[in-house]
Amino acid sequence: MKRILVSFGIVSLMAMKGFSQDLPKTVTTTTAAPASQADIKFNKTVHDYGTMKQGGDGGCEFTFVNTGKEPLIISNCQGSCGCTVPSCPKEPILPGKTGVIKVHYDTKRVGPISKTVTVQSNALSGTQTIQIKGTIEAAPQEEQFPTGGNTPKTGTPVEKGNN
């Protein structure tokens, strides 16, 4: 009985294949949108703060040029952490024109820094990464002097002229 069912299944599959229609093979091609002709070139990709004091000015600028043939549109600038905040131009940068990306680092944290900003745009060169680095030194601590004037440490104040 099993042989009969298996044989019937095989014959059925062969029959379906024989009666199926061969459709003409069509080649579909999709035309991708042409790549942008904009491109970005930074004057520098690393800003070194060197050594700076805690609470100091953590601002810097990265200047770039649109070296392409179409307007450059920066779609996103993202710092590698919350302490690195970039500010990118919102308007398109025309071919041959310059733009500035401002980066502010929160200098409250002490120690070496190495942070990145990822710049996404329609540039031929794709996503770019710029970097800030340096060292933040602790701010000097001011000594607190005791208040209270000429009070002796024994507890009673000394009056002038009554000795």
- Mark residue 19 as left, alpha or beta (left: phi above 0; alpha: psi -120 to 50; beta: remaining): alpha
Residue 144 lies in a domain: no
pLDDT at 5 over 50: yes
Domain encompassing residue 77: 40-137
Q: How does residue 122 score in pLDDT terms, banded at 50, 70 and 90?
A: very high
pLDDT in tens, 34-86: 578 999 999 999 999 999 999 999 999 999 999 999 999 999 999 999 999 99
* CATH number for the domain that contains residue 52: 2.60.40.10
Say what the pLDDT of residue 36 is.
81
Residue 7 lies in a domain: no
Cα–Cα distances in Å, from 118 out to 1, 52, 89, 101, 131?
69, 24, 14, 11, 9
Specify the pTM. 0.65
Residue 151 lies in a domain: no
Q: Structurally, how many domains does the chain consist of? A: 1
pLDDT in tens, 12-41: 666 655 555 554 544 444 444 457 899 999
